[in-house]
Amino acid sequence: MAAKLPKDVRKTIRFILDGEIVELRNCDPTRTVLQYLREDLQRVGTKEGCAEGDCGACTVVIGELVSVPDGLQLRAINSCIQFLPTLDGKVLFTIESLAAESGELHPVQQAMVECHGSQCGFCTPGFVMSLFALYKSAAHPDRREIDNALAGNLCRCTGYRPIVDAARKMYDYHSTENKDKSSWLSVPGSTVLDELSVTEAQQVDKLRSIAATGTLHLEFDGKQYYAPDSIEELAALLRQNPDACILSGGTDIGLWVTKQHRHLASVIYTGNIQSFKQISVSASHLTIGAGAPISDVMPMLSQYFPELDELFLRFASPPIRNAGTLGGNIANASPIGDSMPVLIVLGAELLLRSGDNNRVIALDDFYLDYQKTALARGEFVQEVRIPLPATDATVRTYKLSKRFDQDISAVCAAFSVAFNENIVTNVRIAYGGMAAIPKRAVKCELALLGKQWDDAGILEAVSALDRDFAPLTDMRASDGYRRNAAANLLRRFYIDSKQGETLTNVYHYGR
């Protein structure tokens, strides 16, 4: 049954492509951007490799207006798992958008040609779009920034070296379409409008003219799609339609459609709610709106918890981080989600909302069973609240996976320990991948609390840790491997804390 709608309802999706406003009505709300590009527009430069946001062949770039400071923000995303209506109010760039009308190649494209960065060519459009986002955000990226920008793109011909060369060389070329390389800034950042070229300023004016206001409502083949523009309207819609699927970044829900072929009868999209993305700091807490993209959250968390830098570097890939949200990652309730263990040890709380009613719950009380949470019908996560770091706590997190970049954890561990004259006064330990839910190691914590932080204490804690979990054997790791890895990560944390540094922060770039 369709929800009761407010008066200011729109029925048309509007976005900008190649400088022109595109308007769509009567479209399938779970049709992907990739399907639309390839099948409807015949823009076959954007490729489908995996249909799950893993290989990057489908990468496109979207632009959104931001108000602080006033300007435009570009993000590389995976079009294969992004639903078409989420383009509403945005500008879309595809591989066909880059070359000038004169036929002059964009600097990124020219550099790829000159450096022989394309082999079979299938992955090339995705690499070019990721480099385009980098080109717009960094004037002189180092190897680490280049590697990170390309972490979501896989080349099956193993041609990474010439692609990295192209990333360095692309700044040597002049582009008539992009007079100022710093004029548009991708995550994190934006730009001042009077620094834009004429072409770019025109795009911004058009974006302002199609700014998403009011609630977007689509109906197609028995499906309902709602995109409210306020938290109050989101709460009202979900109260009326409590079984609706809440869509934020779509990095998981997109796979429900592309891989599991689920029929989503009712979808409520949160991406048009600007207040849902706000991040603020008080004297005691960091408060993050549940709709804030991971790529916006990471710099703020790293500012207060620099020990988490490597975990964030290895968290999915830039296109996934640009689309995925912290609230979505938490509410997804995956036992191998990388954000949950560290947020649990940091003492994070969630503000849950149902209609006009709010309640606060500790994150470690939020998970009940495999992909089952404490959310009631019609309730959603509105905010994540993280206490600012205690001066006496040592915090570390570690991730084990088969490859460094963009891989799901076999085991993810997070530790927070406070000492007084080498006596453990406070301890919180949590693991992902060790149980059906992200879970604290309570027996291990009790074995450490009030004890000396020494070899004997760690030996006792390791023994207790083995009683905390009964992990599964799956394609990523066996039960035995996970047990041994969990124990060894505790030992590693102990060694790192004694040395006063984190060994995992050592990562070498370049050749």
Q: Which of 359, 346, 443, 437 is nearest to 396 (CA)?
A: 346
| Per-residue pLDDT tens over the stretch 33-78 | 999 999 999 999 999 999 999 999 999 999 998 875 567 889 999 9
More confident residue, 104 or 69: 104
Token pair in block for residue 174: 């002049």
Rounded distance between C-alpha atoms, residue 456 and residue 205, angstroms: 66
Radius of gyration for the alpha carbons in the chain, expressed in angstroms and rounded: 23
**Second-level CATH architecture of 275-387:** 2-Layer Sandwich (3.30)
Q: What is the mean pLDDT of the chain?
A: 89
| Per-residue pLDDT tens over the stretch 279-333 | 999 999 999 999 999 999 999 999 999 988 888 888 999 999 999 999 999 999 9
Token pair in block for residue 456: 């004997």
- What pLDDT score does 175 carry? 55
Q: Residue 503 pLDDT > 80, yes or no? A: no
- What pLDDT score does 398 carry? 95
**Containing H/E element for 15?**
strand 13-17
| Per-residue pLDDT tens over the stretch 199-244 | 667 778 889 999 878 899 999 999 999 999 999 999 999 999 999 9
Label residue 81 by pLDDT band (50, 70, 90). Answer: very high
- Flag the least confident range among 19-23, 77-81, 193-197: 193-197
Q: Domain 393-505 falls in which CATH fold?
A: Enolase-like; domain 1 (3.30.390)
Domain 13-209 homologous superfamily, CATH: Beta-grasp domain (3.10.20.30)
- Find the mean pLDDT for residues 390-416: 90
One fold for both 275-387 and 393-505?
Answer: no
What proportion of the chain, given as a percentage, has pLDDT over 90? 77
- What pLDDT score does 343 carry? 96
Packed helices 160-169 and 107-114: angle between N→C axes, nearest 10 degrees: 130
Q: What is the pTM of this model?
A: 0.91
Token pair in block for residue 59: 């990468």
Q: Residue 194 pLDDT > 60, yes or no? A: no
The single residue listed with the structure tokens 């453990």 is 424
- What pLDDT score does 292 carry? 96
- Find the mean pLDDT for residues 408-422: 93
Write down the domain spans for the chain: 13-209, 275-387, 393-505
* Three-point CA angle 275, 278, 56, nearest 5°: 105
